[in-house]
Amino acid sequence: MDWTKFEIPESFRTKLSRYRFEIRHIVVMVIVLITFQIILVFFQKENLETFLGEAQSWFRKYYAERLALVTTTSVELIFERQQRVRAQEDSTEMYLAYSLNVILKQQLIHRSVEDICLILIKNQRLYVIDSGQKLTAFFSNKLAPLGDGGPSNHFDAVNFFISQKDEMRRREKIISAVSNDKTFNVLVPFVPDGEYLGVMYMRITPDFTFLTTEIQSSFDKVALTFLALIFIGLMAIFIISSRAVGERNKAQEELFIEHEQNLEKQIRLEKESLFTKRIYHTHHKAEKIMGFIKNDVRLMNSENLGQLKHRVITYSNFISRIIYDMKWYDQDINTIVNRMFKTNINAVIEFIVHNVFLRLSSKNEMFEIKLDLDPSLPPVHVNEFIVWEILEPLIQNSIDHASKNFVTIKVSTRHMKKKNISYVYLEDNGVGIAEELLEAGPKGIKRLFLEQESTKNSIGTHSGYGCYIAHQLAVGKCGWLLDAENRPEGGCLFTLAIKN
């Protein structure tokens, strides 16, 4: 198989990319592995101690029995040799005593041997022998039996032998019993020349702590070494991973900074684009208003001076607002919404209708506008020319997109005192808005209010910006609600909700 051509499936890489390992994941992994290893070490150590304990118990018994057996065999050999020597009368009692003392002394010098003696039965009496002199006295019938002035420092041996005497005679096998989980009392049948004469008793406490200590020490060293290796390996993984994560975080931070800069650039470009489009869309309105100003100046006389003066000033203020908007594409919100503004929406509607739309020469042939204004409508803290820029495109939309020879437009206002909300309704009896433009687009905004979406059948130079700019100013700047829908009887309805 050519591994150089092996590629991870795209689906697997997609799933894998969903999981991001952070420093905390690696730390948790390290803690879990170390914890498991510590538990494993204690578990292995417990098992080893159990094994060593069982091995010691078995080996203590084996060691004690073997030591007692060897000792008994040695004494038996001396006993048999002494019998032959006595028969030949070529030995002295001193030699016998010396030989037995040497054997007993060799056993007692062991750290594990605590007591040793020979218990013999003669004429149903017990004799305890723990030295060569007592053995020679036994042979010469000068040794006193137990209970008749015999030795009294081997009571444990005698009691143990008495408890096992019948079993020993019957089986003639080694009998051992453990006390304190470590001390063995061993009885070995004493059968020189095949005749059962008694037992050899030994109390032995085998000590193998040096062996278990050495094994446990070795195990601890291995465990510590293993833990050290795992710790070093995990630390290496941790360092490498932390560096990798650090580099990734640094790259992400740089990417985020770059993304933030791109967003700022995109927002700035969008604002500049909106600014350009807004100015491009309103320049023809400025030309129309300038025409009205020129015409009013020509018609001005002493009789209509007051009326035309107010109208020309309002026209001029609107032109000034347009020029002011040309200075900055991102206007200060205080120039739009401010507590110092107290704009009467009814007055703005009346001025736009009577002094802009109804001044058109074709008004009688194309449309009519009816007003139904609520006098209780409270003023709003919004610049009056911003209100003009919101309402004028919506009314113009009903005129331009009615697709009828003559359209009736109705503008009405209502104030809900309980809810403290004012409503402005603009409705017409045209053909209405295409259904696809009433569908929700990005961010839940209807497509009618999106950029470059137009209700015109043919694309013109000013199409697609009127409703968009009205929505941007009303919703984005003033915080109002603007909605559009088709009326059941025909035509469309724009609803502007103003929270007072």
Burial, 31: exposed, middle or buried (Cβ in 10 Å; 0-12, 13-18, 19+)?
exposed
Candidates 334, 425, 333; CA nearest to 377 is: 425
Note whether residue 236 is domain-resident: no
Q: Is residue 101 part of a domain?
A: yes
- The pTM score is 0.48
CA angle, 94 as apex, 111 and 86 as ends, to 5°?
A: 115
Whether residue 344 lies inside any domain: the answer is yes
Residue 83: its pLDDT value, please? 60
pLDDT at 375 (0 to 100): 93
Mean pLDDT, 10 residues at a time, over the chain (500 residues)? 55 55 65 74 74 73 71 67 57 61 62 83 86 81 74 79 84 83 86 82 78 72 74 76 79 88 83 68 75 85 83 86 70 85 93 85 72 94 90 88 84 93 94 89 84 54 69 90 92 91
Rounded alpha-carbon distances, angstroms, from residue 192 to 40, 72, 142, 145: 56, 10, 21, 20
Contact 381, 354 (CB under 8 A): no
* DSSP label of 421: E
pLDDT score at 459: 45
Domain boundary among the residues 192, 207, 222 is at 207
CA 199 to chain centroid, in Å, comes to 75
Query: What per-residue confidence (pLDDT) applies to 304?
Result: 82
| Residue 2, in any domain of the structure | no
Residue-level pLDDT at 86: 59
CATH code for the domain in which residue 158 is found = 3.30.450.20
On whether both 196 and 336 belong to a single domain, the answer is no
Number of independent structural domains in the chain: 2
CATH of the domain at 480: 3.30.565.10
- pLDDT score at 90: 46
The tokens describing 324, both together, are 């002011």
The whole-number pLDDT of residue 469 equals 83
Strand order of the β-sheet with 481-486 is 367-372, 407-416, 421-428, 492-499, 481-486
293: in domain: no
Supply the pLDDT for residue 69. Answer: 65
pLDDT value, residue 421: 94
322 occurs within a structural domain = no
End-to-end CA distance of the chain: 76
Task: From 153, 178, 207, give the residue that closes a domain.
Answer: 207
Find the domain containing 120 and state its range.
Answer: 23-207
What six digits make up the tokens of 109?
């010098």
Q: Are residues 336 and 203 in the same domain?
A: no
Which burial class, exposed, middle or buried, applies to 11 when counting CB atoms under 10 A from its CB (0-12, 13-18, 19+)? exposed
Q: Which residues pair with 175 in a beta bridge?
A: 187
Residue 282 lies in a domain: no
Instruction: Provide φ and ψ at 261, rounded to 5°.
Output: -65, -40
